[in-house]
Structure 1
Amino acid sequence: MRLHLDKTFTAAIFVAIVVGLVELLGLPILGLNHAQEITAAILVIAAVLWISEWVPLFVVSFLILALEIVWLLPNLQSLDLANSNNLFFAAFFSDIILLFLGGFVLSSLMQKYGLDLKFAQSILKQTRGHADLTLLGIILACAFLSMWISNTATTAMMLTIVFPLLKTIPTEHPFRIALVLAIPFACNIGGIGTPIGTPPNAIALSYLAQLDISLSFAQWISLTAPFLIFFLVFLWQLLSRLYPAKGLVLSIESREDTPFSPKQGAALAVFIVTALGWFFGKQLGLSTGTVALFPLIVCFWFGLLDTSDFRKLPWDILYIISGGLALGIALKSSGLDSVIVGTLPADPTTIMMVGVLLAAAMSTVMSNTATAGLVIPLVMSLNISTGLIVALVVSLAMTCSMAMALPVTTPPNAIAFSSQAIRGKDMMLTGGIMTIVGVVAVIVFGRPYWTAMIGA
């Protein structure tokens, strides 16, 4: 309790000092107007609080909103750069936020009715005890589920399925490590596959939407699918070689297949209809956020989910995303984004390289959501083609999810490490290799592929 109070007081003092310095001294060296100075101060405050985690991350989002309305908006109005606080409120319930809310409802639905567990068990059943195929099955199951539901929940569930397998393997056998590491890493990778897979994807789509660049659900999948498949296959081969099975045959507990109950059938139908709506909604003139209203209304109207389920949705994640979006709006409204862009190298290739390396380094030690909220806005004012801006933004979002070298890097990593079935050096070795491979793949292959898909 004392430590928590020390952190919160430290955070409060830090915010007060930054605000006081900007109001009293400004930032004359940088040649910014006062609105830009305030925006820079809010950016610094957000970055430090997100990195340090002195206060909960969602609280930082509300602080960003408060500072923008109380401190920044009057200065924007004096410069005729804004006329309403709706400018910042809009970030807290946009089309992308609605999309993610629909994704959270589907996640809750799948977990409540055991659809995720049925899928995972069916994958393991198909491998028939072959060690390397079982490893691949676990990787594919984790990745697929993480495309639709929380990768944290997927990790926790898959670990409970895999632990009985570990009891049949000798304690010193290296393949035990492969089975455990496969779960968090495949969950991290799976998130890049769909717009609702991980918060950095939502942040990327929101910033692209501000430039009237609308990517459909199917378009996002087409942009990320080759990288997703490559990363998953590479992870499988990497784990198989670092921690070989050596002819091991696994004994998989047989489970009786129970038929779908009516409510499970209804839950599956809602999932399929929503997924199809996200794929084909653009042809029907429906945005992804509008389609997300379907599971929200149907699930709670017809009792598939109840009020307690609604209260358990991860609202903090939505507000963390919203805070990042509000920060980006402040950068754009004040013109600070153009000032920052003016200091960057003109070559898009160099910008991508620097941005990807920065995102990888930051995401290794802090929240990938916070990282995306900080780095993606920096490239949004570049005067480059649509294909290049999409390549830059998608590369940053993907890199935020590919950083996985430390136990603290992602919640799935932390859950797997806390199981005590693996050592920190195992996670650092495999996760470090995956991070490096991810960075290299994005830098080398990302730009030509994405610009070709979108059109340079």
Structure 2
Amino acid sequence: MNIFIKLGICLGLPLVVLLLPVTAFPIEGLSLIEQRVIAIFLLAALCWVLEPFPIYATSVLVIVIELLLVSDKGLIFLRSGAESEGFGTLISHKAIMATMASPIIMLFLGGFFLAMAATKYRLDVNLARVLLKPFGQNPAMVMLGLMGITAIFSMFMSNTATTAMMLSILAPVLGLFKAEDRGRIAFALSIPVAANIGGIGTPIGTPPNAIALKYLVGEDAISFGSWMAFAVPFVIIMLAFAWVLLVKMFPAAQEKIELNIRGKFQRSPKAILVYVTFTATILLWLFGSAHGMNSYVVAMIPVAVFSVTKVITKEDLKKISWDVLWLVAGGFALGLAMDKSGLARNMVAAIPFDQFSPYLVIASASALCLLMANFMSHTATANLLMPIVVALAVSMDSLIPLGGTQALILCVTFAASLGMSLPISTPPNALAHATGYMQTGDMAKVGVIIGIVGLLMTYAMVFILRQIGFV
């Protein structure tokens, strides 16, 4: 598609939304600020899909437009009438700017430092040599091994940190493929897919799981072990499906990967420091409950250690993928605007779920969650939907035969983690996209298929669990 046509679509449709009267939208009580957020959302979605310019530039554009149109320090003539009815609530400019330095951005930075240090001192090469050796030389089996390792790590530590670590291990493997070999697309996608799916396996694997547990209380309470009892089989099945899907969609041209990864673990003081810091950071991520630090705080440790000891120098800092950080920040800013303006909440509340059949309610709520999770933070999506979903479940007696509150919450929670169609859908997706081995379209195809199949699998497992009295 011609670049000018893309620009026309990306800029024209949001402009039309801005010019329409508020009454033209099928959302009751829509404010002027919410209308502007709709236009920003449409602009971001179109630009991230059509890519008239780099996707990180879209994120920066989103942040700047939010500051101009909907912040409390935006253009003065666009803030006039802020006290009038129907104008809406202006968003703090500090909150919008803070998305550029959110805890997850710091987690990214820590992952980048680990990856750079590992590459500089060949830790990634040696780990690849050790971990991949049992899986032979068949490309499909090597990818299966990578996905399995990634999924297990993601059950107990940050999906983002796991992806950053595994992509650093994967780098020498990707270098073995020829430029035209589509197999390297499968390999690059396998890590974020496995991380996103693996996070479902435990209550601490991903924030939406923890949010769900907050509402699963009393008779609906689910223990850590019980969660794993049904979530781990789900992860295994979905991981196997994703593996087959990637192998079929992006077959490797070469029949085997010659993993001639040679070398020894270096023994210089700085190399040993890298090994110790790398191992300590991973252990701290894994055992957060033991020391009380969350993954964001832990991520700053390698940044400090490697900077002070000059493991990472000023020249190394120039190699950090700052575009990825901007990309993720733009997604956070979009989610913030939808949350603080009340748009996301009003969009969800505008759908009369209580008038539908219980089957349609479960399908609609989880499908809506999946759709929102592709464009917003999974955590923000869960935070927005969960209170409404719980209230809906409590008020609908017709849901009881299908598992009641548990069934609806589990379906919506799993749907949140299955949103992985775009680079901005999850931090692992953004990290993988930054490798440059795939197009947004490749990620979208795989993400949509896995999302739909994952929803169907969720419904099937909840039905089976209901039959055996688990929910």
Alignment of 1:147-162 (within 5 A): 147-149=162-164, 157-161=172-176
Letter in 2 for 1:159: L
Which ranges in structure 2 are unaligned for 5 or more consecutive residues? 73-78, 154-159, 200-204, 217-223, 392-404, 424-428, 466-470
Asked if the contact 1:325/1:373 (under 8 Å) is kept, the reply is no
Q: Percent identity?
A: 23
Asked if the contact 1:65/1:323 (under 8 Å) is kept, the reply is yes
Which whole-Å CA distance do the structure 2 matches of 1:126 and 1:312 have between them?
33
Residue of 192, 195, 200 corresponding to 2:196: 192
CA offsets 1:54-103 (integer angstroms, 9 cap, x no match): 23322333333333332224366667845742232233322222222222
Equivalence for 1:168: none
Asked if the contact 2:108/2:325 (under 8 Å) is kept, the reply is yes
Deviation at 1:30, TM superposition (A): 4.5
Equivalence for 1:398: 417
Which whole-Å CA distance do the structure 2 matches of 1:374 and 1:3 have between them?
35
Equivalence for 2:402: none
Equivalence for 2:291: 284
Alignment of 1:45-84 (within 5 A): 45-72=43-70, 73=72, 74=79, 81=89, 84=92
Which whole-Å CA distance do the structure 1 matches of 2:128 and 2:118 have between them?
12
Equivalence for 2:456: 440
Deviation at 1:117, TM superposition (A): 2.2
Letter in 2 for 1:310: L
Which ranges in structure 1 are unaligned for 5 or more consecutive residues? 164-175, 196-200, 418-423, 450-455
Alignment of 1:423-438 (within 5 A): 437-438=453-454
CA offsets 1:372-418 (integer angstroms, 9 cap, x no match): 699667626625289889746652443233899xxx9984998379x
CA offsets 1:153-187 (integer angstroms, 9 cap, x no match): 66653233477xxxxxxxxxxxx99x768634532
How many matched pairs? 409
1:90 aligns with 2:98: yes
1:333 aligns with 2:340: yes
Equivalence for 2:187: 183
Which whole-Å CA distance do the structure 2 matches of 1:13 and 1:403 have between them?
22
Residue of 111, 126, 130 corresponding to 2:119: 111
Equivalence for 1:41: 39
CA offsets 1:248-272 (integer angstroms, 9 cap, x no match): x979566554233333332222122
Cα 1:349/1:125, change in 2 over 3 Å: same
- TM score, norm. by length of structure 1: 0.66
CA offsets 1:170-209 (integer angstroms, 9 cap, x no match): xxxxxx99x76863453243322677xxxxx98x669969
Which whole-Å CA distance do the structure 1 matches of 2:55 and 2:139 have between them?
40
Asked if the contact 2:6/2:50 (under 8 Å) is kept, the reply is no
Cα 1:95/1:212, change in 2 over 3 Å: farther
Equivalence for 2:363: 353
Residue of 280, 285, 310 corresponding to 1:303: 310
Deviation at 1:340, TM superposition (A): 1.0
Cα 1:87/1:17, change in 2 over 3 Å: same
Which whole-Å CA distance do the structure 2 matches of 1:331 and 1:378 have between them?
10
Asked if the contact 1:127/1:137 (under 8 Å) is kept, the reply is yes
Counterpart of 2:286 in 1: which secondary structure?
Answer: helix
1:415 aligns with 2:421: no
Asked if the contact 1:103/1:292 (under 8 Å) is kept, the reply is yes
Alignment of 1:217-228 (within 5 A): 227-228=234-235
Which whole-Å CA distance do the structure 2 matches of 1:53 and 1:85 have between them?
27
Letter in 1 for 2:52: W
Asked if the contact 1:327/1:373 (under 8 Å) is kept, the reply is no
Cα 1:359/1:116, change in 2 over 3 Å: farther
Letter in 1 for 2:18: V
Which whole-Å CA distance do the structure 2 matches of 1:242 and 1:51 have between them?
20
Asked if the contact 1:113/1:264 (under 8 Å) is kept, the reply is yes
Deviation at 1:5, TM superposition (A): 5.8
Asked if the contact 1:208/1:390 (under 8 Å) is kept, the reply is no
Letter in 2 for 1:61: S
- TM score, norm. by length of structure 2: 0.64
Counterpart of 1:382 in 2: which secondary structure?
Answer: helix
Deviation at 1:294, TM superposition (A): 0.5
Cα 1:327/1:117, change in 2 over 3 Å: same
Deviation at 1:285, TM superposition (A): 3.5
Which whole-Å CA distance do the structure 1 matches of 2:12 and 2:248 have between them?
51
